[in-house]
């Protein structure tokens, strides 16, 4: 198995080049002025750092440049690194909550973000850590979703609780939660159908799934994990807001971060949201998922 | 939520009210807001910058400075420019006029290719053409099955060769189609990252083997700044002929579409607006422009109404209202008509300004269902003449619809208020209602 940090570094190398690489080239032999700041703004926005985070970064540079009497373009780099670092590290919490088994991870998100694939990877990742994992195939809506998740369960060699297409997802969740309890599983991964957060009836369905699980495994720790496609733009914020209202959101999983330049979204999310990123998806292979470690990401981005 | 552009411009121009005169600087301030709105709608930075520049030239003319409502004037210019940039008017798909016509569908993972393949097939079928979908995604687990299930659900032929490479599957599919009187072949390719050279090569090969009449890039309307790179890469390598925007039924502003259009010059042809296979519409640049600016989409709403509401019934209903004969039976029918148009919250989202006014109002589908259940638990006689509802009848309805008697009383009250409103309207000698629409 390749060194995970190496993989992270490779995956983020384009992002690195796209943010710091470009900015380093732009600031060469330049004075700090409005034109330069505008060019930096352009680089940050285009790297999907987000409108809000970008505006704040630019303002901070402007202020600090005045305060500390900075004039040379190159001096911007360190300022920026520090600011981005503090944004990325701002959501870190070091206390891990006490969890009561079976711990349920309710995996939710809009269509096409990679929920099923992520669950496949998570199942492998967690069972490699020696945990007993069960998957609940609650996406009974999309054609062949159950087959897809079953193949992943086979690959990860974990149990799966499934029903047929069109079944009530809440009833599958109930059965799975009870099975998880009976079989003394450590973690139950609940795959749900993708749904746009604007469809209130589908969000209601999600609430119901959560309620049913609550009842089936009373006292257990139930965590909602929202999956976001790494190439999503500003809409990611709406998604987090609405899903949080419906079923809570204990952590984010950002997918499809491999190989392209869109790692900037990690900065946008850290700036605008208080929900921590827990995992990042870096490819289609079963091992291409990593626990998110902000200091490692900072290292991969800056060094 | 983001403030709609109109709200923001209002703020800019409010500051001026005292000053009395508009200057170039004011226009620039407002254009800064326009730029910010575009960026927040995920329009690419360079595209937004160039766009604002071109608007600036038009806006600094006397017309804006002298107009009574400069905010509205600027929005109009911005809107018109956006429409032009988005392609002016809807452009149709390549006609299905030879046997077989080939549509090839490609895009990133999770953008909605397989669903689109199903939607295109259904659309062809409705035009009395014989479509066939081809499963060329051999990588994602169960992708082949997904397409098969979709195809079966609309009774469309499905083509796949187990254990063969996508290039071969597609080439064979076209051969098969020409021998079997298939009108339209839809190639569903695997999702891939635009930076994945090997998989992009695969697409190039499929293209040269099948010579598609329409090579569609499916783009998620929620995509951020990266949309430009994706579109550029796909276009450079494959020379796409059109773009389909997916997931437009969400609340993404869809600025990515503008970037894609600018970078590729390709028309955006269709928009995917729901999970049902019938949810595919021609793309309307003017509507997307309103959406990017956060201005709602009233045209879609009216169109939806016209599509689904039975005009004859609507006329009859109008008569009844005018004669103050509107009863629960009519109300039920009316509600069912509205229901056909789609989920209520998505309908409300299309009303300009509703986003702002109804920010905290949740249209609860459940409340509506409860109301319908109550009416449906009434006898026809009761619906025609609610006055006969006494305690015993109400109890029965309450039990039948699973509601409390209070809920029923409340509905009756609301209904009485509505009837009163209609009476008042009649007294004001209302000349006529808009076609097919009710005044509430």
Report residue B353's pLDDT band, with 50, 70 and 90 as the boundaries: very low
Cβ count near B239 (within 10 Å): 12
Give the model's pLDDT for residue B31. Answer: 84
> By the 8 A CB rule, do A156 and A123 touch?
yes
Report residue A303's pLDDT band, with 50, 70 and 90 as the boundaries: confident
B41 CB neighbours in chain A (<8 A) are 234
DSSP 8-class letter at A187? E
Q: Which of A14, A150, A198 is closest, CB to CB, to B250?
A: A198
Report residue B386's pLDDT band, with 50, 70 and 90 as the boundaries: confident
For residue B381, the SS3 value is helix
**For the segment A181-215, what is each residue's pLDDT rounded down to a tens digit?**
999 999 999 999 999 988 888 999 999 999 999 99
> By the 8 A CB rule, do B86 and B293 touch?
no
d(CA B84, CA B286): 9
Q: How far is A291 from chain B (nearest CA, A)?
A: 22
B150 CB neighbours in chain A (<8 A) are 143
Give the model's pLDDT for residue A169. Answer: 96
d(CA B262, CA B243): 12
Mutate to test the interface with A, among B117, B225, B232, B346 (most CBs of A within 10 A): B225
Which pairs count as long-range contacts for A176-181, CB under 8 Å and 24+ apart, including other chains? A176/A134, A176/A135, A176/A136, A176/A138, A177/A102, A177/A104, A177/A136, A177/A212, A177/A213, A177/A216, A177/A217, A177/A220, A178/A216, A178/A217, A179/A134, A180/A102, A180/A104, A180/A134, A180/A136, A180/A217, A181/A102, A181/A216, A181/A217, A181/A220
d(CA B415, CA B64): 47
Q: Would you call A42 and B46 a contact, using CB atoms and an 8 Å cutoff?
A: yes
- Domain B101-284 is of which CATH architecture? 3-Layer(aba) Sandwich (3.40)
Report residue A94's pLDDT band, with 50, 70 and 90 as the boundaries: low
Cβ count near B225 (within 10 Å): 29
Question: Chain centroid to CA A98: how far?
Answer: 22
Among B86, B80, B139, B151, CA closest to B114: B151
**For the segment B224-238, what is each residue's pLDDT rounded down to a tens digit?**
888 888 999 999 999
DSSP 8-class letter at B157? E
CB of A196 within 8 Å of any CB in chain B? yes
Give the model's pLDDT for residue B59. Answer: 74
d(CA A98, CA B248): 41
A233 CB neighbours in chain B (<8 A) are 42, 222-225, 227, 252, 255-256
> How many Cα atoms occupy the beta-carbon half-sphere of A75 within 13 Å?
13
**For the segment A221-257, what is each residue's pLDDT rounded down to a tens digit?**
999 999 999 889 888 888 998 999 999 999 999 999 8
CB of A78 within 8 Å of any CB in chain B? no
Report residue B432's pLDDT band, with 50, 70 and 90 as the boundaries: very low
The hierarchical CATH code for the domain A103-302 is 3.40.50.300
A47 CB neighbours in chain B (<8 A) are 225
Cβ count near B289 (within 10 Å): 23
Tell whether the model's pLDDT for residue B20 goes beyond 70. Answer: no
State the Cα angle at B151 between B146 and B155, rounded to 5°. 150
Cis peptide upstream of residue B100 (ω within 30 degrees of 0): yes
* pTM of the full structure: 0.78
Q: Would you call B251 and A143 a contact, using CB atoms and an 8 Å cutoff?
A: no
Q: Would you call B250 and A45 a contact, using CB atoms and an 8 Å cutoff?
A: no
Q: Would you call A48 and B226 a contact, using CB atoms and an 8 Å cutoff?
A: yes
**For the segment A147-180, what is each residue's pLDDT rounded down to a tens digit?**
999 999 999 999 999 999 999 999 999 999 999 9
Sequence-ordered alpha helix ranges (H) in A168-247: 169-182, 200-216, 235-247
Q: Would you call A233 and B222 a contact, using CB atoms and an 8 Å cutoff?
A: yes
Which of the pair, B79 or A139, is modelled with greater confidence?
A139
| Sequence ranges of the domains in chain A | 4-90, 103-302
Q: How far is A47 from chain B (nearest CA, A)?
A: 7
Which of the pair, B82 or A122, is modelled with greater confidence?
A122
| Sequence ranges of the domains in chain B | 3-85, 101-284, 302-427
For B111-120, b/e burial (b = at least 16 CB within 10 A) is bbbbbbbbbb
**For the segment A107-142, what is each residue's pLDDT rounded down to a tens digit?**
999 999 999 999 999 999 999 999 999 999 999 999
A41 CB neighbours in chain B (<8 A) are 45
Average pLDDT over residues B57-72: 67
Among B161, B155, B163, B223, CA closest to B194: B223
**For the segment A64-91, what is each residue's pLDDT rounded down to a tens digit?**
999 998 889 889 998 999 999 889 888 7
Number of alpha helices (DSSP H) and beta strands (DSSP E) in chain A: 12, 8
| Phi, psi for A278 (deg, rounded to 5) | -105, -35
CATH pick for B302-427 out of 3.10.290.10, 1.10.260.30, 3.30.950.10, 3.90.79.10 = 1.10.260.30
Same fold yes or no, A4-90 and A103-302: no
Collect all residues with Cβ–Cβ distance below 8 Å to B67 and sequence separation of at least 6.
B73
B249 CB neighbours in chain A (<8 A) are 196, 198-199
Report residue B416's pLDDT band, with 50, 70 and 90 as the boundaries: confident
Q: Would you call A235 and B40 a contact, using CB atoms and an 8 Å cutoff?
A: no
Among B56, B35, B63, B62, CA closest to B47: B35
For residue B281, the SS3 value is strand
Mutate to test the interface with B, among A34, A233, A260, A283 (most CBs of B within 10 A): A233
Lowest mean pLDDT among A24-28, A123-127, A153-157, B436-440: B436-440
In the structure encoding, which two tokens stand for residue B167, read together?
Answer: 């290039």
d(CA B35, CA B47): 10
Average pLDDT over residues A15-20: 87
Average pLDDT over residues B7-34: 68
Cβ count near B335 (within 10 Å): 14
B226 CB neighbours in chain A (<8 A) are 48, 231, 260-262
Among B2, B53, B284, CA closest to A51: B2
Average pLDDT, chain B: 82
**For the segment B230-279, what is each residue's pLDDT rounded down to a tens digit?**
999 999 999 999 999 999 888 888 889 999 998 899 999 999 988 899 99
**For the segment A250-278, what is each residue's pLDDT rounded down to a tens digit?**
999 999 987 666 778 889 888 888 889 99
CATH topology of domain A4-90: 1.20.120
Class of domain B3-85: mainly alpha
For residue B337, the SS3 value is helix
B253 CB neighbours in chain A (<8 A) are 234-235
CB of A46 within 8 Å of any CB in chain B? yes
Q: Tell me, what's the ipTM?
A: 0.86
> By the 8 A CB rule, do A175 and A169 touch?
no
């Amino acid at each position: 198995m390749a060194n995970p940090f190496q993989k992270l570094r490779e995956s983020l190398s384009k992002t690195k080049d796209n943010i710091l690489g470009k900015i380093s080239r732009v600031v060469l032999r330049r004075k700090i002025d409005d034109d330069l700041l505008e060019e930096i703004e352009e680089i940050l926005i285009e790297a999907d750092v987000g409108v809000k985070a970008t505006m704040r970064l630019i303002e901070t540079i402007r202020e600090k440049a005045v305060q500390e009497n900075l004039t040379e373009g190159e001096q911007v780099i360190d300022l920026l690194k520090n600011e981005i670092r503090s944004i990325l590290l701002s959501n870190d919490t070091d206390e891990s909550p006490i969890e009561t088994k079976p711990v349920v991870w309710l995996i939710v998100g809009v269509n096409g973000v990679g929920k099923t694939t992520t669950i496949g990877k998570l199942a492998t990742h967690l069972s490699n850590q020696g945990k007993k994992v069960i998957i609940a195939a609650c996406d009974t809506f999309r054609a062949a979703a159950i087959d897809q998740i079953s193949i992943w369960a086979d690959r990860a060699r974990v149990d799966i609780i499934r029903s047929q297409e069109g079944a009530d997802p809440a009833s599958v969740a109930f059965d799975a939660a009870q099975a998880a309890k009976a079989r003394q599983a450590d973690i139950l991964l609940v795959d749900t159908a993708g749904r746009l957060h604007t469809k209130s009836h589908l969000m209601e369905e999600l609430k119901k799934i959560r309620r049913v699980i609550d009842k089936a495994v009373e006292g257990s720790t139930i965590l909602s994990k929202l999956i976001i496609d790494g190439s999503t733009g500003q809409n990611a914020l709406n998604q987090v807001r609405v899903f949080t209202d419906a079923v809570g959101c204990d952590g984010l999983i950002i997918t499809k971060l491999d190989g392209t330049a869109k790692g900037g979204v990690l900065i946008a999310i850290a700036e605008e949201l208080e929900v921590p990123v827990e995992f990042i998806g870096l490819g289609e292979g079963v091992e291409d998922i990593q626990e998110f470690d902000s200091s490692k990401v900072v290292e991969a981005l800056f060094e | 939520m983001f403030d709609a552009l109109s709200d923001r411009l209002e703020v800019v121009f409010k500051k001026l009210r005292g000053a009395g005169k508009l200057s170039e600087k004011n226009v620039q301030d407002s254009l800064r807001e326009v730029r910010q709105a575009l960026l927040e709608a995920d329009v690419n930075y360079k595209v937004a910058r160039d766009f604002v520049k071109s608007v600036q030239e038009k806006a600094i003319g006397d017309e804006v400075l002298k107009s009574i409502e400069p905010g509205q004037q600027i929005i109009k210019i911005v809107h018109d420019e956006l429409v032009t940039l988005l392609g002016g008017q809807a452009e149709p798909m390549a006609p299905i006029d030879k046997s077989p016509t080939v549509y090839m569908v490609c895009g990133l993972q999770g953008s909605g290719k397989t669903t689109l393949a199903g939607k295109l097939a259904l659309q062809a079928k409705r035009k009395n053409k014989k479509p066939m979908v081809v499963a060329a995604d051999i990588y994602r687990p169960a992708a082949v099955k997904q397409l098969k299930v979709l195809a079966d659900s609309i009774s469309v032929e499905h083509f796949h060769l187990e254990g063969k490479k996508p290039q071969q599957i597609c080439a064979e599919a076209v051969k098969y189609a020409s021998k079997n009187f298939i009108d339209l072949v839809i190639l569903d390719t695997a999702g891939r990252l635009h930076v994945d050279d090997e998989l992009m090569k695969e697409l190039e090969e499929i293209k040269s083997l099948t010579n598609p009449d329409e090579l569609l890039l499916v783009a998620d309307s929620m995509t951020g700044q990266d949309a430009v790179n994706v579109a550029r890469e796909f276009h450079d390598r494959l020379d796409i002929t059109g773009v389909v925007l997916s997931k437009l039924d969400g609340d993404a502003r869809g600025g990515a579409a503008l970037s894609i259009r600018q970078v590729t010059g390709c028309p955006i042809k269709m928009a995917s607006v729901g999970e049902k296979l019938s949810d595919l519409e021609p793309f309307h640049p003017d509507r997307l422009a309103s959406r990017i600016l956060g201005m709602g989409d009233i045209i879609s709403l009216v169109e939806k109404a016209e599509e689904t509401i039975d005009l004859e019934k609507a006329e009859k209903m109008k008569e009844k209202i005018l004669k103050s004969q509107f009863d629960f039976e009519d109300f039920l029918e009316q509600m069912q008509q509205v229901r056909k148009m789609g989920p209520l919250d998505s309908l409300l989202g299309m009303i300009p300004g509703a986003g702002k006014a109804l920010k905290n109002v949740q249209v609860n589908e459940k409340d509506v269902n409860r109301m319908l259940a109550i009416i449906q638990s009434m006898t026809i006689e009761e619906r025609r003449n609610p006055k006969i509802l006494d305690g015993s009848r109400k109890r029965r309805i309450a039990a039948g619809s699973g509601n409390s008697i209070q809920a029923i009383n409340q509905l009756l009250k609301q209904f009485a208020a509505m009837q009163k409103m209609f009476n008042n309207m009649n007294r004001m000698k209302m000349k006529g209602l808009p076609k097919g629409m009710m005044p509430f």
